[in-house]
Amino acid sequence: MASLRPLSRGPFLLLLIFFVFSLSLLRPIQGNGGSDGGGGGEEFSEELLLKPLPDRKVLAHFHFRSAAPPSAANGRHHHLFPKAIAQLVQKFQIRELELSFTQGRWNYERWGGSDPISTRNAKPPGVELWALFDLPTEEIDPTWKNLTHALSGLFCASINFLESPTAYSSPYWGFLSNNGNLRYGALPREAVCTENLTPWLKILPCRDKAGIASLLYRPSIYKGYYHSQRLRLLSSESKGIILEQTLTVVLQPNSYTSSLLSSSDAQLQPSWSLSQLFKKEMTGKCVLAKSSKIFLELERGLLEKIVEIRDDSWIGKFDGQVGSSLYEYKVDNSNENKPLDVGITWKLPLVWSSVHAPFQASRFLMGSGNERGSIAISLQSTQTHDQYFGDLNDCTVPVIVLQVVPWYVKVYYHTLQISIDGKPQTLSDVIEKIQVTPSEDKLLPGTLEIMLRFPCSMLSATLSLDFDKDSYTLTNILQMSYPDYDVSDDSSLLHNLQEKYLVRSYTEVLLVPLTTPDFSMPYNVITFTCTVLALYFGSLLNVLRGGLVRREIISQKDSARPGLVPLYFLGYLPAKE
Amino acid sequence: MAEIRPYWALAAAAALGFRVLLLILFPGDLHLGSRPEVATPLTSLRRLSEGYWLKQSSMSPYAGSMYHGSPLLLPILGPLTAERTDGQPAHFYCSLLFVVVDFVTAMLIRATGQKLLLSRRQSLEYLNLPKLVKNSANINAGDLASLIYLWNPLTIVTCLGLCSSPIDNLMVVLTIYAACSRLAPLAAFGYVLATHLSLYPAILILPVILLLGYGPDAPPAKLFLHKSSNSDGKDPSNNDESRSAVTTHKPVRCFSRRPVVHFMIWVSIWSCYVLFLCSIYLKGLGGLQEMFKKTYGFILTVGDLSPNIGVLWYFFAEVFEFFRNFFLIVFHVNILFMILPLAIRLKHRPCFLAFVYTAISAMLKSYPSVGDSALYLGLLGLFANELADMQFSFFLFFGYIGVSLLSPVMHNLWIWRGTGNANFYFATGLVYSCLQTVLIVESVSTMLKHDRMLRKHVIA
């Protein structure tokens, strides 16, 4: 009974995701000027989604999609598709790959937790890379190493630090179900900047010279609250290679004008437009693109009374996901003289909230001191279950927790405790599936994958695990790939699964301060230790020998042979009383 | 001092009662199991329960770098450490087991002491030194040593501290006791298990062979030769009735091969048996090769550099990787180098030799804990008569007290408060090593002096 409702809703939501991203490709394109640019079945399309967020910010989501037909069709030559990427896929036999560079943390509470934008584009800070290979198991690890090096060259980032086995893990089903051919690695401390964006833009056929990408004015996009650039590759024998590049930024529109107005107007959400947000104007599409579109997403019913759309040249209006409308603009119509300036102006103040995920996840470190502690993951229900699951009484929510811990955090997996609404639970009641890969010192990070089944009526749940902290050695610090010895490497991933509907959220990166010996004077330590050992060895040997020498002397005295005077004196030297 | 005996049972019972009382009063608030002084990566029961959990979830107990102990401890101690629902704290039964183990160890020490006492009395009387017998032999070393072992705060802390050291100690003491009583199969059992559990007791093979071959400690063989040649030549003038009963049948000590050969055979039987059990337990999970790598390999390569009361962790944390192997060899060879010289000088006192070996390995082992100190301090009591005029005993006594008070303070300042520095904690470790050095050197030198004194008496 319980599973009937979600089943009916699942395909609907999936369909919408598909709708947002791929609608433009399915629809025939009228009057396109660039279709002759993409030869050989390769195609490129660009899209931009704009959406006001409840906390006076604006989400801009750029989406570029390149597709190449199966490589046999046109050999090694590409017209539109980036050659570097195609070579990468061929050389490393990549089935799927996702690389993201992120700055800032996605605010699940305010910016939404279950819509397709947030579940796909909310990424952990720093670099995250995962790949599925189409290779035999023993070749995967060397290939992963080469891949990290190739990517770090391509994107000017230190992705090569993911080559060491301590930096990546291979979850079996916690991240994506796979047959052991998935590798997952993250570098939370990687700084993301324009040097990573430039090579990313180079992959685009028009770079940032024309089309939607020309909006990417560096000072304005790096000023934002969240910045995540993502590259996703899908390759298959039948469909060829599909490359999706997305850039998600959360920007604060300038609201000088509104702040100068009266206090009642200060309640208003800031009004914005493309040119104001990006300090650039939209002056035409990339001629190579098959389609080039801008979408504006607003809560349904807002348009007439509360919001005024600045440029009403939209050509279509669709119903988006739960409670929102999408307005579609074509970039083709704009030119130097008539730039497309999509934007909204608020007329009345409005407070609304984004769609929450069924649970809000956060992670804490407990305990003080540098010896031990524990990790706690807490799930707070957002009280929106009826929206997702329907009947609360006898339904359950599956939740997958993936927790990767670096080797220097030694987790005692037998201390796993789960409590629901503050009451400790018997593990076997809640855990459906568990997979533990314990960490090996200096070799392997520990991976914990648990599938839990919680009752829908649950308000909060807590998972806790105890750990000991390892201390650092001098060599470790010298060989450390990046000055990261205080960061617990991975964010735990939580998925809430309900049949086909999947919400993914990352928790905070944790800082784990570690014991550091005093490395200022290693030679003192070495000499002191050796001195103590020498003291032990020397004095014990001396004691053992002492009696012998004395007896020798006595016997020499007894025999009193004058011929051996030098030896006689030598006998006195090391004697111990 | 002869009056220890009547009170022994009372004192021993009080020691055990004290442990149980602590156990009941502080059912889990002592947190001794996570103290670096008490539980090492090898002996920690917390790690053992992690290994047990991994085994229960059909993984190798050595997966990950948590458990490094013997697989045989898992089925015995594992179920005791698992969470309980019947109201008792998780490790209550385990600690009770260790109280029993401590008691058995103390009994064995006592029995060993009585054997030593008997042998000492016999040999002194044979050497015709009734004065010495009357002077000092009335300290019942066995009672004293067992009480030292039971009431030693370090032993109590180890017993309640949730680590497997009490079992290691029991096996070592069992080996020495069985060798003293010339029970080859039992000695082989203790020896094999002690070696299996903590590797370092392997060097006890020399004292055990000497014990089986020559019997318990006695003055040097030369004195007996001297005495017998004297008594052959002269008329045995002072051949009293008192000693004739025990000493006339005592021959000049010669090496008897039979028990040693038995011992060797039993060692091979027991080790095959232990390996067989281990391989059954680890069947399909990595096998014996992984076990050797994760237990003995872990001990020999000093893989875990978390702070402990020794000096090696800090040394290897600071030393450059390039020199690591060299120093590993140096430190391990340091233990081995002393085996032969000591065995040559102390071959007539195999029990004392075993004590010195235990103390040396407790000082130089890769993961020392107070449990090792508790063992050799207990054994030290066995030689109370011979070591009566040891130097620096006052200094050593207060040194041990001082270090055991300062070391937790320094650890707390460094790890928990963050106000101290690793060097302070390391300094207490250095002082502790120095104290052990002084103890070893002084006890060896006193024992040699004691033998010299005996010779003086015999020759004079």
User: Taking CB atoms and an 8 Å cutoff, what residues of chain B touch A471?
Assistant: 305-307, 317
Check A370 against B418: CB less than 8 A apart.
yes
Residue A33, amino acid? G
Asked if B146 reaches chain A (Cβ–Cβ under 8 Å), the answer is no
* pLDDT reported for residue B189: 95
Residue A22: closest CA among A1, A47, A55, A53: A47
Q: Do A438 and B59 touch (CB under 8 A)?
A: yes
pLDDT tens for B343-399 read 998 988 999 999 999 999 999 999 999 999 999 999 999 998 888 888 888 999 999
Q: What is the pLDDT of residue A73?
A: 54
Residue position matching structure tokens 């706690």: A376
> What CA–CA distances, in Å, run from B206 to B175, B183, B264?
12, 16, 12
Beta-carbon neighbour count of residue B319 at 10 Å?
A: 21
Report the pLDDT value the prediction gives residue B459, as an integer from 0 to 100. 80
User: In this structure, what token pair is assigned to residue A101?
Assistant: 């560079």
B40, B47, B50, B57: which to substitute to probe chain A, counting the most A Cβ within 10 Å? B50
pLDDT at B276: 94
H-type alpha helices, A432-521: 474-479
Least confident of A216-225, A251-260, A340-349: A251-260
pLDDT greater than 70 at residue B412: yes
Judged on CB neighbours under 10 Å (0-12, 13-18, 19+), B341 is: middle
Q: What is the mean pLDDT of the segment spanning B136-150?
A: 82
Query: Predicted confidence band at A566 (pLDDT cuts at 50, 70, 90)?
Result: very low
The more confident residue out of A303 and A221 is A221
Q: Best mutation site among A404, A417, A485, A528 for testing chain B: the one with the most B CBs within 10 Å?
A: A528
Contact across the interface for B342 and A439, Cβ inside 8 Å: no
pLDDT range class, residue A34, cuts 50, 70, 90: very low
Selected residue with higher pLDDT from A440 and A307: A440
B176 pLDDT band (50/70/90 cuts)? very high
Beta strand A43-52 pairing with A291-299: parallel
pLDDT score of B126: 81
The confidence band for A74, taking pLDDT boundaries of 50, 70 and 90, is low
**A311 or B210: which leads in pLDDT:** B210
Interchain CB distance below 8 Å, A532 and B59? no
pLDDT value at position B263?
94
Q: Residue B307's closest CA among B445, B184, B416?
A: B416
Domain A359-510 sits in CATH at 2.60.40.740
Q: Is the pLDDT higher at A566 or at A273? A: A273
Structural tokens at position B440: 């070893």
How many domains, in total, are found in chain B?
1
DSSP class per residue in A373-442: EEEEEEEEE-S-HHHHT---SS-EEEEEEEEEE-TTEEEEEEEEEEEETTEE--HHHHEEEEEEE--BTT
CA distance A564 to chain B (A): 26
* Banded pLDDT at B440 (limits 50, 70, 90): very high
CB contact under 8 A, A441 and B303: yes
Scanning every residue of chain B, which has its alpha carbon at the shortest distance from the alpha carbon of A551? Answer: B452
Q: Which of residues 474-503 of A touch B (CB under 8 A)?
A: 474-475, 479
CA B54, CA B59: separation in Å to the nearest integer? 5
State the average pLDDT over residues A486-493: 42
Q: How many CB pairs under 8 A join A and B?
A: 145
Q: Residue A393: is its pLDDT beyond 80? A: no
Q: Chain B window 14-73: which residues touch A at a Cβ cutoff of 8 Å?
A: 34, 46, 49-50, 52-54, 57, 59, 63-66
User: Which of A436, A525, A539 minimises the CB distance to B441?
Assistant: A539
DSSP one-letter code for B200: G
ipTM: 0.89
- Judged against a pLDDT cut of 90, whether residue B216 lies above it is answered with no
A471 with A517: CB under 8 angstroms? yes
Lay out the sheet containing A431-437: strands in order across. Answer: A431-437, A446-455, A396-405, A493-498, A501-506
Question: B70-88 pLDDT, tens per residue?
Answer: 999 999 888 887 765 555 6
Residues whose CB is less than 8 angstroms from the CB of residue B295 and which lie 6 or more positions away in sequence, other chains included: B42, B68, B69, B70, B199
A161-215 pLDDT, tens digit per residue, is 888 888 888 888 877 778 888 998 888 878 888 899 999 999 999 888 888 999 8
Which residues, in sequence order, are bridge partners of residue A340?
Answer: A282
Shortest Cα–Cα distance, B311 to chain A (Å): 7
CB A20 within 8 A of CB A116: yes
> Mind listing the pLDDT tens digit for each residue in B275-327?
999 999 998 888 889 999 999 999 999 888 888 898 999 999 888 888 899 99
C-alpha distance from A492 to closest chain B C-alpha (Å):
20
Q: Do strands A493-498 and A446-455 pair parallel, antiparallel, or not at all (unpaired)?
A: unpaired
Q: Classify B86 as helix, strand or coil.
A: coil
Distances in Å between the Cα of B362 and the Cα atoms of B108, B320, B357, B433 are 20, 25, 8, 10
Between residues B207 and B27, the one the model is more confident about: B207
Q: What is the pTM of this model?
A: 0.84
Q: Could you report the per-residue pLDDT of A427-463, keeping only the tens digit for each?
A: 888 888 888 989 888 888 888 888 888 887 888 889 8
What are the residue ranges of CATH 2.60.40.740 in chain A?
Answer: 359-510
Please, are residues B383 and B355 in contact by the beta-carbon 8 Å criterion? yes
Q: How far apart are CA A49 and CA A25, in angstroms?
A: 15
Q: Specify the pLDDT at position A552.
A: 58
Is the CB of A436 less than 8 angstroms away from the CB of B57?
Answer: yes
Instruction: Assign A491 a pLDDT band (cuts: 50, 70, 90).
Output: very low
pLDDT at A474: 59
- Preferred mutation among B38, B441, B450, B452 to probe A, highest tally of A CBs within 10 A: B441
- Asked if A525 lies within 8 A of B314 by C-beta distance, the reply is yes
pLDDT for the residue numbered A553 = 61
Residue A18 has pLDDT above 80, yes or no: no
Cα(first)–Cα(last) distance of chain B, in Å?
29
Q: Report the gap between the CA of A170 and the closest CA in chain B (Å).
A: 15
* Per-residue pLDDT reduced to its tens digit, A115-147: 777 777 888 888 889 999 988 989 999 999 999
Residue A13 has pLDDT above 70, yes or no: no
Q: Do B445 and A546 touch (CB under 8 A)?
A: yes
Shortest CB distance from B306 goes to which of A470, A525, A539?
A470
Q: What is the mean pLDDT of chain B?
A: 86
> Which chain B residues are within 8 Å of A410, Cβ to Cβ?
64-66
Position B125 confidence tier, pLDDT thresholds 50, 70, 90? confident
Mean pLDDT score across all residues of chain A? 77
Q: In which band, very low, low, confident or very high, does the pLDDT at B416 lie, cut at 50, 70 and 90?
A: confident
* A residues 402-461 lying closer than 8 A (beta carbon) to B: 407, 410, 412-414, 434, 436-441, 446
Cβ under 8 Å to A: B residues 322-351:
324, 330-331, 334, 337-338, 341-342, 344-345
CA distance B215 to chain A (A): 22
B332 vs A contacts (CB less than 8 Å): none
Q: How many Å apart are CA B64 and CA A488, to the nearest integer?
A: 18
- In Å, how far is A178's CA from the nearest CA of chain B? 21
State residue B452's pLDDT score.
87
CA pair distance B72, B282, nearest whole angstrom: 10
State the Cα torsion B218-B220-B226-B228 to the nearest 10°: 30
Rounded to the nearest angstrom, the minimum Cα separation between B414 and chain A is: 9
* Per-residue pLDDT at B59 exceeds 60: yes
Q: How far is CA A506 from CA A181, A246, A513, in A?
A: 22, 18, 21
For residues A50 and A488, give the distance between their C-alpha atoms in angstroms, rounded to a whole number.
34
Q: Counting every residue, how long is chain A?
A: 577
Q: Which residues of B touch A434 (CB under 8 A)?
A: 57
- pLDDT value at residue A272: 87
CB contact under 8 A, B422 and A515: yes
Kindly tell me if the per-residue pLDDT of A285 is higher than 60.
Answer: yes
What is residue A264's predicted lDDT score, i.e. its pLDDT?
55
The Cα–Cα gap between B419 and A478 comes to: 25
Range of the domain at B200: 5-298+307-459
CB contact under 8 A, B53 and A414: yes
